[in-house]
Amino acid sequence: SQKIEQNSEALNIQEGKTATLTCNYTNYSPAYLQWYRQDPGRGPVFLLLIRENEKEKRKERLKVTFDTTLKQSLFHITASQPADSATYLCALDRGSTLGRLYFGRGTQLTVWP
Amino acid sequence: DAGVIQSPRHEVTEMGQEVTLRCKPISGHDYLFWYRQTMMRGLELLIYFNNNVPIDDSGMPEDRFSAKMPNASFSTLKIQPSEPRDSAVYFCASSGLALGDTQYFGPGTRLTVL
């Protein structure tokens, strides 16, 4: 089965710095990789999707990279703000009819002023 | 759209009791997913439906768990009998036509089994 590892359980950075979160996976390569944000007491919220044939995807202050050779995705938040504090989850699927979405355990990001 | 709706938001019950969790997906979405989240195991997929038909229930922990989707706008997850180890947050999510599409999660039901 697919194994997903997110770099650490918690990451603390100062406001204004760039936060970099890592998602590593084993076994087969996914057709898609997605990043979600989860705030306490709420369900995950979709942020970005990147396909296997894409190297990079950007959305405002967010950037995702996807390296299928390293089996790794990096998630960057530039000019971080305290409001970015949350847990970030990566999720993989195979784009096939099997359809399971595998989630990592998440990285809890805290941005302090 | 109101998004995915789940009820109840919190449920406290005693071991051995039956628990029913409810979900209303986003209108027009063809896929519905039930997840369970705990500190120990993270977010686990329990079962998912496509056009009201269960496609993969291999994540359902045991026979005490069952899920139904009688129509496109309603699904239930039932635990009978409940046990303390079932305590977790249960999420329902829905997505559009293409598998791999963005999933929209509900607010979750926090279940505590005493």
Three-state DSSP state, B27: coil
pLDDT digits (tens, 9 = 90+) for A42-57: 999 999 999 888 989 9
Q: Is the pLDDT of residue B1 over 70?
A: no
Read off the tokens for A53: 């044939």
- Mutation target for B interface from A51, A93, A96, A101: give the one with most B CBs within 10 A: A101
* Amino acid A7: pLDDT: 74
**By the CB < 8 Å criterion, does B96 face chain A?**
no
**By the CB < 8 Å criterion, does B42 face chain A?**
yes
Average pLDDT of chain A to the nearest whole number: 89
Are A110 and A103 in contact by the 8 Å Cβ rule? The answer is no
Average pLDDT of chain B to the nearest whole number: 93
Q: Is the pLDDT of residue B97 over 70?
A: no
* Amino acid A68: pLDDT: 87
Select from A41, A93, A104 the Cβ nearest to the Cβ of B100. Answer: A93
* Amino acid B24: pLDDT: 98
Residue whose entry in the numeric block shows the structure tokens 């990789």: A33
Select from B43, B55, B102 the Cβ nearest to the Cβ of A99. Answer: B55
Are B30 and B37 in contact by the 8 Å Cβ rule? The answer is no
pLDDT digits (tens, 9 = 90+) for A76-85: 999 999 999 9
Q: Is the pLDDT of residue A3 over 90?
A: no
Are A109 and A7 in contact by the 8 Å Cβ rule? The answer is no
A49: closest CA of chain B, how far (Å): 8
Residues in chain A whose Cβ is within 8 Å of chain B? 31-32, 34, 41-46, 49, 89, 93, 95-106
Least confident of A15-24, A61-70, B73-82, B89-98: B89-98
Neighbours of B15 (CB within 10 A): 12
* Amino acid B100: pLDDT: 60
The average pLDDT across B33-48 equals 92
